[in-house]
Amino acid sequence: MNPILSSHDDKVTDFKDKWNSGVSYHNPKLATSESPDHMESDFSLNEIINNFFPKPDQSSSELCSNEERSEDKFAQIIYLRPWKYDHKKLASQVQDLLNCLAPFTSIINLKGLERYVTYLKKQPALADLPFDLCPEVIQGVINQGLLWPDPGTSVLLHADPKLPYFLKTSLYMFERSEKRQGVETAFREYYEDLAVVMYQLMESNKEDEKELGEFLIRPEYENFVTALELSLNARVSVINIYRLLSNYLKANENHESALALGKMVLDGLNSYPREKLSGSSGAEFVAIADDIARDQLAAEQYSEAERSYQTALAIWLQNQDCDADQIRRKSSSIYHQLGRVALEQCQWERAREYFLKSLEISKKYNDLREMPATLRNLHRLWKESGDEELPGDIAMVLGWNA
């Protein structure tokens, strides 16, 4: 079975129920939390937020020393020193909470934010952060005009482009390396699980679920791409996010972007250690490479398609996680596709070799799904090439001469 395809997941129902019921982050005008854990002081959390995000008419001299001055208010978010506050620990934690928003590119979904926080809490480097302050921190950013609600739905917040840029600058400071790893892990794992659910919605036989899936993916597309890039950098599975984005682009007939996405993923997978690709990751690689190569073939990018199929075949034949019969049986479809690439380029001998190899394997395993397509292409090859010996070779492979 192609790993690109999957069976129905109970997470879909769970997701729909939670989505429709809503969560605490339902309104961009968020109430101040009354948690007993909040620090009571004349120097309130609001003051800390205001100092992180100074008003445009405030002078920089009020906020930082001479060597820390900046004409850019966003730079002050990053370089303002925590020791300037009475409650320096709280100020530092507020910065760490803000940094958890760094991976979001341009949209933050308030209904998904609470679920994202559950992933953040699983990270040891982030577990002690005061996540109960999240509503107030988000409201503070809204008050500063760096986040604002979407005109169509208050569930979505748009981010000023400079906000994620400078938050990443803070997150990537050397002393925050463990926290950065925690944030990136939580972000990609959250979007990986979300991708499974959204893919099921898009592949649903129910029209309302398909529409819901596409509706939910559209504003989150860039966040999914970020999660995909983080997964590639971490050398972990990418199939759930890739297949969602690929199917979404194809459903919208954005084939150029689908090809660009495929190239990015294939380049990233090629950098994985070979020993990692010898197991289940290798099976995923083959499924993704096959999907990408089909797009390249459809776009008449024959050299790229052949390279993708050859890479997939080499990885698959070295797989140590599957038994020999499974490996050989799956290789039939790759040989068939290589034959198609050669056929489209009028490379008769190469097409002949690949198609007969595919037919031989299909015959051995009685694969009635693969065999008819191969026979049709062999018939086309015979007519276009004028190869008079080809029918006899086909009969020999099928055992008709015996």
Q: Is residue 111 part of a domain?
A: yes
Q: List residues bridging with 373 in a β-sheet.
A: none
Which two tokens mark 80?
Answer: 């303002």
d(CA 242, CA 288): 8
The range of the structural domain enclosing residue 2 comes to: 1-228
Q: pLDDT value at position 164?
A: 86
Q: How confident is the model at residue 88 (pLDDT cuts 50, 70, 90)?
A: low
Beta carbons of 263 and 297 less than 8 angstroms apart? no
Asked whether residue 47 carries a pLDDT value surpassing 90, the answer given is no
Query: Dmax of the chain from CA atoms?
Result: 95
**How many structural domains compose the chain?**
1
Q: Is residue 95 part of a domain?
A: yes
pTM of the complete model:
0.78
Q: pLDDT value at position 39?
A: 35
Sequence-ordered alpha helix ranges (H) in 270-301: 280-298
Q: Is residue 235 part of a domain?
A: no
Q: What is the signed CA dihedral for 48, 51, 56, 58, rounded to 10 degrees?
A: 130
Query: Using one digit for the tens of pLDDT, what is the confidence trace for 352-361?
Result: 999 999 999 9
Query: Using one digit for the tens of pLDDT, what is the confidence trace for 14-23?
Result: 555 544 444 3
For 140-166, what is the mean pLDDT?
88
Asked whether residue 43 carries a pLDDT value surpassing 60, the answer given is no
Q: Is residue 393 part of a domain?
A: no
Q: Is residue 18 part of a domain?
A: yes
Q: Is residue 325 part of a domain?
A: no
Instruction: With H, G, I as helix, E, B as strand and everything else as coil, classify residue 131.
Output: helix
Whole-angstrom CA distances from 205 to 202, 231, 277 are 9, 30, 34
Q: Is residue 327 part of a domain?
A: no
Q: Is residue 89 part of a domain?
A: yes
